[in-house]
């Protein structure tokens, strides 16, 4: 599948040089950010650590990684992915010291993608131990974001049975929450996977259904990007190779549709957002499938083969 039209498709040499120059500028700033982050952690000042949020840097590093991938600057892409993963490790340490829960911030999700892509088992193991606290009185989108990020946390555990349980919980939670018809009980945030039926006031009977997405509803990104990705993961961990390929094709088509045809409420097109140029979630899924020995029959510009195959040998960090 070819990539949707993007700004980078018709870039002149001058614009490409400017893009690379911007990447170089951000690369030069990484050592200072890392040094300051380590310094804050060493001080163990609870007040500082509670405000220790690296979200903007997560976002910037991952956007730069996707730009670098499209420009075929593999060493640059590897460097941005590596430091996004390192920041996730530091974020874990800050949360451990302050007993803070997993943040619902989507930027955290992208750094988890980087950790999974790079096959960094140490950081995966550490982050799998962070606890989720789900606040029952927040908006649908925030509750769903918490469950999605926590599913990624469980994905880092390497425990297939628990991963499938977390995947099913996300799909069921998304279906039920989207209906907005069942209030949740208080004080049911802990052990939510084991007590899903108790989490709601009545028994869970609603099966998962994708339904018809609205171009303007808050669930667009979930229904067009997250749910298809999770269904691909479900096929992988159920060892369903045919389902994996079928769901992957559907997920790629939805990714294309979302970034080609959807727009922000302001009317701004999504075409030129770097996170749409490459599907990191689907690249993660394909990497997991590859490592499990599953045969993939679907190819796409949205999936980066050298990342899927883990071909990092010989790549060096541009900055240290």
Residue identified by tokens 């899927």 is 308
Check residue 186 and give its pLDDT.
37
130/94 Cα distance (integer angstroms): 11
Would you give the DSSP letter of residue 120? -
Token pair for 243: 């389902």
- Measure the N-to-C terminal CA separation of the chain; round to a whole number of Å: 36
DSSP reduced 3-state for 311: coil
Q: List b or e across 232-258, with b for residues whose CB sees 16 or more CB atoms inside 10 angstroms.
A: bbbbbbeeebeebbbbbbebbebbbeb
* pLDDT over 50 (residue 178): yes
Q: What are the tens digits of pLDDT across the range 149-169? A: 889 989 999 999 999 999 998
| 246 in any annotated domain | yes
pLDDT at 195 over 80: no
Mean local confidence (pLDDT), 102-116: 73
Share of the chain residues as helix, strand and coil, in percent rounded to the nearest 5: 60, 0, 35
**pLDDT at residue 239 greater than cutoff 90:** yes
Question: Burial of 180 by CB count in 10 Å (0-12 exposed, 13-18 middle, 19+ buried)?
Answer: exposed
Answer whether residue 49 is part of any domain.
Answer: yes
Q: For residue range 196-231, list pLDDT tens digits in order.
A: 444 433 333 333 333 333 333 445 788 889 999 999
Helix (H) or strand (E) holding 82: helix 74-98
The parent domain of residue 221 ranges over 7-308
Structural domain contains residue 58: yes
**Inside any domain, residue 202:** yes
Q: Is the pLDDT of residue 288 over 90?
A: yes
User: 318 lies in a domain?
Assistant: no
More confident residue, 280 or 319: 280
Report residue 260 as tokens: 């080609």
The model carries a pTM of 0.81
Residues 6 or more apart whose Cβ sits within 8 Å of residue 267: none
Say which residue, 213 or 233, is predicted with more confidence. Answer: 233
DSSP for 2-44, written as a single string? PPPP-GGGG--HHHHHHHHHHHHHHHHHHHHHHHHHHHHHHHT
Assess whether pLDDT exceeds 90 at residue 144: no
Evaluate whether residue 20 is within a structural domain: yes
Instruction: Quote the pLDDT of residue 6.
Output: 64
For residue 123, the model assigns a pLDDT of 85
Kindly state whether residue 139 falls inside one of the protein's structural domains.
Answer: yes
Phi, psi of 263 (to 5 degrees): -150, 165
The total number of structural domains that make up the chain = 1
Separation of alpha carbons 286 and 298, rounded Å: 10
Beta bridge partners of 184: 200
Instruction: Indicate the helix (H) or strand (E) that contains 178.
Output: helix 160-179
Q: What is the DSSP letter of 281?
A: H
Residue range 25-81, pLDDT digits in tens = 888 888 887 887 788 777 776 666 656 556 567 777 888 888 898 888 999 999 998
Tokens of 72: 């075929």
- For residue 30, how far is the Cα from the chain centroid? 21
Residues 246-282: tens digit of each pLDDT: 999 999 999 999 888 877 766 777 887 888 888 999 9
User: Smallest Cα–Cα separation from 92: which of 114, 105, 108?
Assistant: 108
**Residue 25: inside a domain, yes or no?**
yes
């Amino acid at each position: 599948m070819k990539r949707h039209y993007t700004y980078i498709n018709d870039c002149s040499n001058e614009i490409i040089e400017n893009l690379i120059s911007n990447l170089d500028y951000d690369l030069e700033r990484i050592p200072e950010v890392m040094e300051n982050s380590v310094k804050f952690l060493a001080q163990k000042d609870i007040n500082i650590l509670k405000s220790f949020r690296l979200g903007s840097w997560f976002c910037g590093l991952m956007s730069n990684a996707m730009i670098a991938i499209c420009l075929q600057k593999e060493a640059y892409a590897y460097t941005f992915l590596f430091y996004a993963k390192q920041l996730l490790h530091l974020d874990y340490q800050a949360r451990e010291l302050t007993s803070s829960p997993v943040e619902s911030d989507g930027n955290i999700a992208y750094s988890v993608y980087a950790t999974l892509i790079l096959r960094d088992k140490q950081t995966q193991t550490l982050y799998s131990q962070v606890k989720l606290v789900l606040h029952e009185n927040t908006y649908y989108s925030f509750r769903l974001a918490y469950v999605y990020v926590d599913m990624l946390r469980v994905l880092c555990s390497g425990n297939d049975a628990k991963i499938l349980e977390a995947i099913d919980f996300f799909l069921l939670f998304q279906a039920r929450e989207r209906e907005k018809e069942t209030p949740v009980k208080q004080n049911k945030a802990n052990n939510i996977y084991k007590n899903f039926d108790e989490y709601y006031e009545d028994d869970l009977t609603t099966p998962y259904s994708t339904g018809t997405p609205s171009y303007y509803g808050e669930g667009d990104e979930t229904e067009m990007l997250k749910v298809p990705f999770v269904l691909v993961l479900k096929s992988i961990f159920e060892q369903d190779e045919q389902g994996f390929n079928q769901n992957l094709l559907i997920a790629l088509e939805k990714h294309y549709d979302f970034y080609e045809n959807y727009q922000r409420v302001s009317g701004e097109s999504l075409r030129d957002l770097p996170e749409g140029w490459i599907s990191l979630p689907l690249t993660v899924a394909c990497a997991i499938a590859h490592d499990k020995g599953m045969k993939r029959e679907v190819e796409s510009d949205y999936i980066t083969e050298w990342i899927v195959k883990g071909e990092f040998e010989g790549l060096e960090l541009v900055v240290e």
